[in-house]
């Protein structure tokens, strides 16, 4: 699998996003890269796609698959795309505060620390549905790192489409995320325009 080894803060600066949206508390002291030349329509669209892929940790092939799924669903394609990305298990684990960053959430899921509706799931791209209960597996609840992570992130605001139970180290998907629930500054219409060419 392809892995981007560029420093996170460097990529955040080049894409013009705050590291806080990725779960990193450290702020970049350098200013975002601003070109003196007027950006073309295509470069704006491409940058928006790269930003979205970077935030959610998705590669091109899978991102394209998500776009095709979003365009086949009823509703606004851009909003559907963000809803699908938010429904990924690694993102839900991050949103519930069981991990400080999405890459960390991805690693915890891959190592088999979580279950969905009582069944072990170790696929970060697993898409959750309303009513699904995500919890730390019983055999892993004694892990100090999980308890520590949940404690560190307990002050993080859990989106209203999720319900968190800190005592049982679990969470429930009440409904799928709506556009208002997604706080990341993404202009999804630019991605739709890019893929519609």
Residue 57 token pair: 């940790």
Residues 6+ apart with CB under 8 A from 194: 42, 45, 46, 48, 49
Residue 1 resides in a domain: no
User: In angstroms, rounded to a whole number, what is the distance separating the alpha carbons of residues 184 and 80?
Assistant: 15
Clarify whether residues 123 and 79 are in a common domain: no
Tens digits of residue pLDDT in 103-136: 999 999 999 999 999 999 999 999 999 999 999 9
Is pLDDT of 192 > 60?
Answer: yes
As for how many domains the chain has, the answer is 2
Q: Are residues 17 and 92 in the same domain?
A: no
Say yes or no to pLDDT of 152 above 60.
yes
Q: Do residues 93 and 171 both lie within one domain?
A: yes
pLDDT at residue 140 in the model: 83
Does the structure show a pLDDT above 60 at 163?
A: yes
117 occurs within a structural domain: yes
Do 57 and 103 fall within a single domain?
A: no
- Rounded-to-integer distance, Cα 46 and Cα 160, Å: 31
167-189: pLDDT as tens digits = 889 999 999 999 998 888 889 99
Which pLDDT score is estimated for 131? Answer: 95
**Would you say residue 64 lies in a domain?**
yes
| Domain limits for position 56 | 8-28+39-85+180-195
Q: State mean pLDDT over 47-57.
A: 92
Tell me the pLDDT band of 1, cut-offs 50, 70 and 90.
very low
Which range among 26-40, 76-90, 91-105 shows the weakest confidence by mean pLDDT?
Answer: 26-40
Residue 56 lies in a domain: yes
| Beta-bridge partner residues of 133 | 172
Residues 144 and 186 reside in one and the same domain: no
What is the full DSSP assignment across the chain?
-----S-HHHHHHHHT--GGGGT--PPPSSPPP--SSPPPHHHHHHHHHHHHHHHHT--HHHHHHHHHHHHHSSS-HHHHHHHHHHTBHHHHHHHTTSSSSHHHHHHHHHTT-EEETTEE---TTPBP-TT-EEEE-GGGTT-HHHHHHHHHTTTSPPPTTEEEETTTTEEEE-SPPPGGG--S---HHHHHHHHT-
Which pLDDT band, with edges at 50, 70 and 90, does 14 fall under? Answer: low
- For 113-155, give the DSSP string: -EEETTEE---TTPBP-TT-EEEE-GGGTT-HHHHHHHHHTTT
Span 19-39, pLDDT tens digits: 666 666 655 555 555 556 677
- Whether residue 2 lies inside any domain: the answer is no
Q: In the chain, pLDDT over 90 holds for what percent of residues?
A: 55
């Amino acid at each position: 699998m392809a892995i981007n080894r560029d420093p996170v803060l460097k990529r955040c600066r080049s894409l013009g996003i705050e590291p806080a949206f990725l779960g990193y508390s450290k702020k970049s002291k350098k200013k975002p890269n601003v070109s003196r030349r007027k950006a073309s329509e295509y470069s704006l669209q491409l940058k928006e796609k790269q930003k979205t892929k970077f935030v959610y940790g998705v590669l091109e092939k899978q991102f394209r698959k998500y776009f095709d799924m979003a365009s086949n669903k009823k509703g606004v394609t851009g909003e559907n795309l963000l809803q699908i990305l938010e429904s990924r298990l690694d993102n839900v684990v991050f949103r519930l505060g069981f991990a400080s960053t999405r890459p960390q959430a991805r690693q915890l899921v891959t190592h088999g620390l979580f279950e969905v509706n009582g069944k072990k799931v170790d696929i970060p791209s697993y898409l959750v549905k309303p009513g699904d209960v995500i919890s730390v597996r019983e055999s892993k609840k004694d892990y100090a790192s999980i308890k520590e992570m949940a404690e560190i992130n307990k002050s993080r605001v859990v989106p209203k489409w999720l319900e968190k139970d800190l005592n049982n180290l679990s969470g429930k998907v009440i409904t799928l995320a709506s556009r208002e629930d997604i706080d990341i500054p993404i202009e999804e219409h630019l991605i739709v325009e890019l893929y519609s060419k």
